[in-house]
Chain A
């Protein structure tokens, strides 16, 4: 068999004696339609009348809907998360519209796929900005959200980020960025407090090498390194999207931990719980908020998941009076709310509140209104932003799996 280079292009058998000119008109006839098609497609895609020379600003139509843009992953490895977030946001939009909208205008949600990929996210953010969104209420993967900050910033679009919470987002100190998920530090504080309370001595911290997860894991390690309290036995990273974590489990078990903290997502979390239990680990396992989902319990199996702890902001499950919300969600979408559903729902409500307070959709005014908000009721409790635009209180609590569902274990008050 001939190998790749030779068989790759048998047409080019005589490259040495090639002359630089083809017969006139022979190839071009084939090419021009293609080129024309490409250009035409480009034009059709972009629409006309928005060129460099048309500088006239569009006058805001006061009766048109207020548009909320939302970047979430809907393809790629994190595609499972997207619907949980957009559904909840849509629920909030519908509720607000049913009550007459904001400032007499309807709300409209415009979700776009960011695939958790910086390039796709930037394209999507630019698309949203170009289509004139007023506030962004998306952002799940920190790595994909970071490059969108300048895009929205330049267009003066305030961002209320429901899920992404890595420290880099905070460190940028961008005026238009608001985080309504608890930050990594707030979560690790709660986690370490609970470990100490449980009398853990030797804690294994595990992450999946994504920015969200590694952030929390490394921060937990720092907290554990401080004198007093439990020690860190091992910091173990797994590769997301695999099935067999036997090698990692063996690594961790060799350090004989008496407490395991998993900071990644529920898919791998469920598998890890199961594989740790199969390997004979009897001690407590705790997961971070990305793992809090009924799917975690399903994947791990009810028996193995029983008693697993979780660090989590308040959820519909742990809040009194949230049953109505859950029912509304389920009747509308046919499934239970999932990770970041409540934050997404709150992001929309918060956006509506701020636009209402600002009396319009002007970016600077909405930002000022967001900064001024005090005591707005959200799932995570009454809201007031810190100067860094994060939640004053993370509101993290400890949940545990009881009878096949997450329930409040310790409010850490």
Chain B
């Protein structure tokens, strides 16, 4: 039982981290960024390349270089996200919202198969592996590395939340989410703020990518697709656009999958998770923490 919960929370932490970027971008410009999962993939490969380049420099220490690589990767994927927004999304900001869906899917293909061209289709294996010293925590088998990863994820999420709720920058983001025209009138540089939101969201996805690479070991060019889908789901469960809600949504999805596997077996897991999700949404149509918006008067 406690093992099930731990499995779910651990997977859920990854979902949350990726979902946050989804949710932020969605909250601010109402864009389903289908390429977001591919930024996770990009992060994993960027980390892979850096670790490979660093090679023997760090010697036998693993955690410190990983943290350095993590930060560098976050910067790199953040910039990639900004570039993506600049090229594929910003020019279309006045167009019908679904037009952005096309460029998002286009960007997703371009990123995936661009990486396919660069790195090939064969999965790559991370040079640094977080092996496991297992602890027994309330009957669940937990490794120290898992704990560290979850702590990093939680720390990143808290930082983000503080940034969005407490800082000027965050206020600007929320203002744009509410009303971009009014925000502009109040002297907010909308484009710059949106760029920064993309930077933050993409950096988090990149961080999740490196962490997944270092923990699971295997990365490939399509690794972002499924998790992108799950992150979208998690963001919606939580109440899309709502940051604490998204974190909860990710964890909840992880738990649903863990228990679904246990009760119904692996092949019915996603049916269970989606089924519960649909039932849940019919009861609570705005997600866990989403506000009830009056839709138009």
Residue of A nearest to B213 (CB): A243
CB distance from B204 to the nearest CB of A (A): 17
A158 interface residue per 8 A CB criterion: no
Chain A contacts with B in 226-260, Cβ cutoff 8 A: 235-239, 241-244, 246-248, 250-251
Q: Which residues of chain A are near B113, meaning CB under 8 Å? A: 75
CB distance from A154 to the nearest CB of B (A): 32
Residue of B nearest to A335 (CB): B122
Q: Which residues of chain A are near B161, meaning CB under 8 Å? A: none
**Assembled-state Cα–Cα distance A270/B116 (Å):** 21
User: Which among A9, A246, A250 has the greatest number of chain B C-beta atoms within 10 A?
Assistant: A246
Q: Which residues of chain A are near B122, meaning CB under 8 Å? A: 80, 295
Residue pair A243, B218 in contact (C-beta under 8 Å): yes
Number of interchain pairs (Cβ within 8 Å)? 117
Residue pair A236, B265 in contact (C-beta under 8 Å): yes
CB distance from A144 to the nearest CB of B (A): 16
Q: How many residues of A contact B (CB 8 A)?
A: 43
**Assembled-state Cα–Cα distance A82/B120 (Å):** 11
Residue pair B97, A4 in contact (C-beta under 8 Å): yes
A2 interface residue per 8 A CB criterion: yes
**Assembled-state Cα–Cα distance A246/B143 (Å):** 12
Q: Which residues of chain A are near B98, meaning CB under 8 Å? A: 4, 8
Q: Which residues of chain A are near B96, meaning CB under 8 Å? A: 7-10
Residue pair B121, A83 in contact (C-beta under 8 Å): yes
B3 interface residue per 8 A CB criterion: yes
Residue pair A251, B262 in contact (C-beta under 8 Å): yes
A274 interface residue per 8 A CB criterion: yes
Q: Which residues of chain A are near B223, meaning CB under 8 Å? A: 241, 243
- Once A77-B222, A243-B212 are accepted as A-B contacts, the answer to whether A250 and B121 lie under 8 Å apart by CB is no
| Partner pick for A246 among B10, B179, B269, CB 8 A cutoff | B10
CB distance from A205 to the nearest CB of B (A): 12
- Once A1-B178, A248-B261, A299-B123 are accepted as A-B contacts, the answer to whether A239 and B266 lie under 8 Å apart by CB is yes
| Partner pick for A271 among B177, B178, B217, CB 8 A cutoff | B217
| Partner pick for B97 among A8, A83, A278, CB 8 A cutoff | A8
| Partner pick for A301 among B10, B120, B129, CB 8 A cutoff | B129
Q: Which residues of chain A are near B125, meaning CB under 8 Å? A: 295, 298-299
CB distance from B90 to the nearest CB of A (A): 17
Residue pair B217, A1 in contact (C-beta under 8 Å): no
Residue pair A247, B4 in contact (C-beta under 8 Å): yes
Other contacts beyond A250-B258, A299-B123: 13, CB < 8 A: A1-B30, A8-B96, A8-B97, A80-B122, A235-B265, A236-B265, A239-B270, A241-B223, A243-B212, A246-B7, A247-B4, A250-B261, A301-B129
Binding site for A on B (CB under 8 A): 3-4, 7-8, 10-11, 14, 30, 96-98, 113, 116, 120-123, 125, 129, 131-132, 134, 141, 143, 177-179, 212, 216-218, 220-223, 225-226, 257-258, 261-262, 265-267, 269-270, 293, 295-296
Binding site for B on A (CB under 8 A): 1-4, 6-10, 74-77, 79-80, 82-83, 209, 235-239, 241-244, 246-248, 250-251, 267, 270-271, 274, 278-280, 295, 298-299, 301
24 contacts between A and B (CB under 8 A): A4-B98, A7-B97, A8-B98, A74-B121, A79-B116, A79-B222, A80-B120, A80-B123, A82-B121, A237-B266, A239-B266, A241-B223, A241-B225, A243-B212, A244-B11, A246-B7, A246-B11, A247-B4, A247-B262, A247-B266, A267-B123, A271-B217, A299-B123, A299-B125
The 9 closest A-B pairs by CB, nearest first: A79-B121, A237-B267, A247-B261, A246-B7, A237-B266, A243-B216, A80-B121, A247-B258, A278-B132
